[in-house]
Structure 1
Amino acid sequence: MTKVLVLYYSSYGHIEQMAQAVAEGAREGGAEVDIRRVAETAPKNIVEAAHFKTDSAHPVIEGPDALANYDAIVVGAPTRYGRMPSQMAAFLDTTGGLWMRGALNGKVGGAFTSTASQHGGQETTLFSLITNLMHLGLTIVGLDYGFQAQMGVDEVRGGSPYGATTIAGGDGSRQPHEEELAGARYQGKRIAQTAAKLAG
């Protein structure tokens, strides 16, 4: 059975919800799925002052070598000034040994994100994640336009051909919309199916 890792960092729970949806889609696509998060690296006083969500049902990833155990890796993180946050970057910066060994070459990857606004850097953040995955040798699967719910301008909605997205609002009060979660499930399923085909 194809093994998929959904690896995320979430400050306020939006990306955690999207990660769960990606995992649901990957399971629907026939994969065995693990959800892991990267460690919080912000100082405790910052975490408390900003009211970060500190409880999670998902364990912290054991270390970079764990990535080699999967056929597909889907990475999710919110934006920080149009790029991935330092917490995810700190973890990805530890994967040099995997890169040197070519341990992830030929695996499948994807990314998902959250921003405060519709124009808050969703696609640049996705690319900051995807670039790392491509350097590590992964074949990228985005959110193709088979998922038609990402189209239209009748309401606020996330979605990008480069990966599933959600919009949190400036104060974080907007939770992922059902169409955004459906996009995450769609991408997760596509990634699992693609990994199964490449493994076959």
Structure 2
Amino acid sequence: MSKVLVLYYSSYGHVEALANAMAEGARSTGATVDVKRVPETAPEEVAKAAHFKLDQQAPVATVEDLANYDAIIVGTPTRFGRISSQMASFLDQAGGLWMRGALNGKVGGAFTSTGTQHGGQEVTLFSVIINLLHFGMTIVGLPYSHQGQMTVDEIVGGSPYGATTIAGTKGQRQPSAIELEGARYQGELTAKTANKLFG
């Protein structure tokens, strides 16, 4: 079976919750799955003053870790319609992996969180996906076979480009059952794809 990395950055725990659901879905296929986070780049006093969730259990990844996996699913909150600076900084350090083609042919995917329904989810997903395509990876999104993302009965995230959640402008909304199911679905599909290629 394949080895899957769920790599994320989360300030307040919303992307962390999606990351854990993504890992559940991937593990359901028999894949070996690790959940890791990228380093916090904000000064500690700034992070504490902003009430960042600093007690996350996932270990901190190194750039070289990426080469050890068959699939990498990347999660980041949206920052004004783009990837967070913490995740961007981490991926920017992967030039050595890119130079030697260490990620060519691996499977990748993206997931995100925004404060509002129209806060740039799809643009953020694409900003991750563009990075992964430059690394030579094959992208797996969240197809409409995950029917939950098509509901109009409640506020719900989700996009064909990846799982998402809507946190609320004050972070007051946690990922819903449908959003977590979307993350599990994408994780399962990504791992199944990697299992076919590498298993």
Specify the TM-score bucket, using the shorter chain as the normaliser.
over 0.9
RMSD: 0.8
Structure 2 distance, partners of 1:65, 1:161, is 29
CA deviation after TM superposition for structure 1 residue 44, in Å: 2.1
Count of aligned pairs = 199
CA deviation after TM superposition for structure 1 residue 36, in Å: 0.3
Give me the TM-score of the superposition, normalised by structure 1.
0.98
Alignment of 1:72-151 (within 5 A): 72-151=71-150
AA partner of residue 110 (structure 1): G
Structure 1 distance, partners of 2:46, 2:124, is 22
Deviations 1:57-98 (A, max 9, x none): 11100x211111100000001000000110000100010010
Structure 2 distance, partners of 1:29, 1:116, is 32
Deviations 1:153-189 (A, max 9, x none): 2210000000000000001010000110000000000
Give the aligned partner of residue 13 of structure 1.
Answer: 13
Give the gaps of 5 or more residues in structure 2: none
Q: Identity across aligned pairs (percent)?
A: 69
Give me the TM-score of the superposition, normalised by structure 2.
0.98
Give the gaps of 5 or more residues in structure 1: none
Structure 1 distance, partners of 2:138, 2:69, is 13
Q: Secondary structure at the match of 1:179?
A: helix
AA partner of residue 93 (structure 1): D
Alignment of 1:139-178 (within 5 A): 139-178=138-177
Runs of 4 or more consecutive aligned structure 1 residues displaced over 4 Å after TM superposition = none
Give the aligned partner of residue 196 of structure 2.
Answer: 197
Give the aligned partner of residue 35 of structure 1.
Answer: 35
